[in-house]
Amino acid sequence: MPSILSNESSSLLSPNIGQGGSSTRSHDGKSNTFCHFSVTLPYLFTFLAFEIALILVATPMRPIQEDIICRKHYPGALAASSMCKSDIVQSELSLIKGWEATFGLLPGMITAVPYGMAAERYGRRPVLGLSLLGISLSQAVDIIVCYFPEAFSLRLIWLGAALTLVGGGPLVTTTMLFLIASDVTSEAHRSTSFFYLSAIPLIGQLLAAPLTYAAMAKGNWFSVLLGFGGLVVSTLAILVTPETHSMRHSDSCDDYRSSVDYTSPPLGVRALVVSVSRQAAVSVRTVFWSNKLSLLLMNFLFTSISESIPPILMQYVTKRFQWTWAEAALLNSISAGVRLAVVGLLLPFASRVLLLDLRLNPSLKDLWLARAGISALVVGAFGIGLADRSIIVIISLMIYSLGFGYGPAMRGLLITIAEGQRASDLLMCISLIESTGLLLSGPLLAASFRVGMALRGVWIGLPFILVGCCLACATAIVIGIRIGGEPHQASSS
């Protein structure tokens, strides 16, 4: 990520370099490049730490919740016993996790527009800090409910999702991440910067998998409490990260650091409601002005279902191939390793080849990268669902992970097509559409897993077959879309 930010900042802030510009211009460009890198670095480490901490909490919570359900149905049963893998236990666990994910999306969908407006008015940092705080509070509710199973019903963890009204939860977090990436990189290489941004949580997953395995060896609750401590520290760390709002419009670090205006008078409740309503109407009207743009946006509804695969995958392999939860967590390491190689090396290289060697314009380049990504997702999803051996699951997961660049490439393509519109409006619409898909896919995949267990045999992979069918529909749209444009004339500079 540092290299791409450095290169792109140079091209944005010092366009006269290499064209006979003075040494002073060159020096200013280098100074601004360092400024952009220094702004990015704290966010990099903060999100890396938050991702690791979240995995340390979430991974052991599944066996903890499985044990609570198992003891409810089979009093006296030992943890990880064969009785805990019974259909009744696994169905209840799948139901709880599916609806937990669904309820976790609702606050973000309700508060997305207000927080988007707040990010434009007050900056990205305070909104991002609130988002991380809400996620941490939601995890705290999960911990309390599971630590006192005699006092609380396990289904009360669904109420924890309401706390993500503070900050908007993952939906707002994702949008803020892409807005920050847009603030510190040039438009010419937007999708490449998104590739590098996508590598941040992957590095966290890659580091967290062995760390979680070691922590869970000392006890599930040791891992949970260690991770929650990391969530608290990471959330507090946001307070010392620099603000990136209006950074792209600044000529120097000094100008940028004073560019955010926090002195605007606060709006009253009625004025705020009217302002939010108008902003929402304007955003929807401007974003959906084109049939082509609308079709590509709605494509995220089909592809968002694939985001529900990781939690189902762990339960799938523990049920079908009798893996332990700790062993199943290592699949995250395999997937993260392949995805990191894809967005950190393969796609930036492919992007450069398509632009400079094949001379495609940026829109066509992003479209072909999206087509390649969605094709890999389809093949991988069907492979996981139809696998009869664990090695086939691993190979199919690696193929599936090759399609990770679809999302960043499609975002870059859409922002390019919708030139002249605010990136925050478009990114917020994408997040809302993806959240709608996730809202539907959580209970849908949970129900299909229960049906698959009842049918037995190959049908236990029904959730992944269903995901493959949805991705096939998305593939037809992406392959069928046509985007015009002259070959991109890349300059030597």
Domain ranges of the chain: 2-14+21-250+279-480
Residues 6 or more apart in contact with residue 23 via CB below 8 angstroms: none
Q: Which 3 state secondary structure label does DSSP give 178?
A: helix
Q: Quick one: fold of 2-14+21-250+279-480?
A: Growth Hormone; Chain: A; (1.20.1250)
pLDDT at site 287: 56
What is d(CA 161, CA 156) in angstroms, rounded to the nearest whole number? 10
pLDDT at site 457: 79
Residue 218 gets which letter from DSSP? T
Let me know: does 303 contact 438? Beta carbons within 8 Å: no
Let me know: does 220 contact 75? Beta carbons within 8 Å: no
- Tokens describing residue 267: 């709006």
Let me know: does 197 contact 181? Beta carbons within 8 Å: yes
- Tokens describing residue 316: 């799938």
Sign of dihedral through CA atoms 365, 368, 374, 380?
A: negative
CB atoms within 10 A of CB 219: 11
For the CA atoms of the chain, what is the radius of gyration?
23
Cα-flanking dihedrals φ and ψ of residue 321, to 5°? Answer: -115, 10
pLDDT at site 212: 92
- Which position has the token pair 């494509």? 299
Cα-flanking dihedrals φ and ψ of residue 19, to 5°? Answer: -125, 30
Residues 6 or more apart in contact with residue 480 via CB below 8 angstroms: none
Between CA 191 and CA 476, with CA 481 as vertex, the angle to 5 degrees is: 100
- Tokens describing residue 286: 């401007």
pLDDT at site 412: 82
Sign of dihedral through CA atoms 403, 404, 409, 414?
A: positive
- Which position has the token pair 């299909």? 448
Rounded (to 5) percent helix, strand, coil in the chain = 85, 0, 15
Residues 6 or more apart in contact with residue 347 via CB below 8 angstroms: 192, 195, 369, 405, 408, 409
Tens place of pLDDT for every residue, the chain, 493 residues?
A: 333 333 333 332 233 333 444 444 444 444 455 555 567 678 778 888 999 999 999 999 988 998 898 888 887 766 556 677 787 888 888 788 878 877 888 888 888 878 887 887 788 889 999 999 999 999 999 999 999 998 899 999 988 888 999 998 888 888 887 888 777 776 667 777 788 878 888 788 778 888 998 999 999 999 999 999 999 999 999 888 877 776 654 545 554 444 444 444 555 555 655 665 666 565 555 555 556 777 888 888 888 888 778 778 888 888 888 888 778 878 878 888 898 899 888 998 998 888 888 888 878 888 899 999 999 999 999 999 999 888 999 999 999 999 988 988 888 888 777 765 666 677 778 888 888 887 788 778 888 888 988 888 788 889 999 999 999 999 998 988 877 654 444 443 3
Contacts within 8 Å (CB) and 24+ apart, 337-342: 337/206, 338/398, 338/401, 338/402, 338/404, 339/198, 339/202, 339/401, 339/404, 340/199, 340/202, 340/203, 340/206, 342/401, 342/402, 342/404, 342/405
Among 354, 395, 352, smallest CA distance to 371 is for 354
Cα-flanking dihedrals φ and ψ of residue 251, to 5°? Answer: -90, -15
Among 440, 330, 441, 467, smallest CA distance to 385 is for 467
Residues 6 or more apart in contact with residue 205 via CB below 8 angstroms: 51, 55, 332, 333, 335, 336
Let me know: does 108 contact 168? Beta carbons within 8 Å: yes
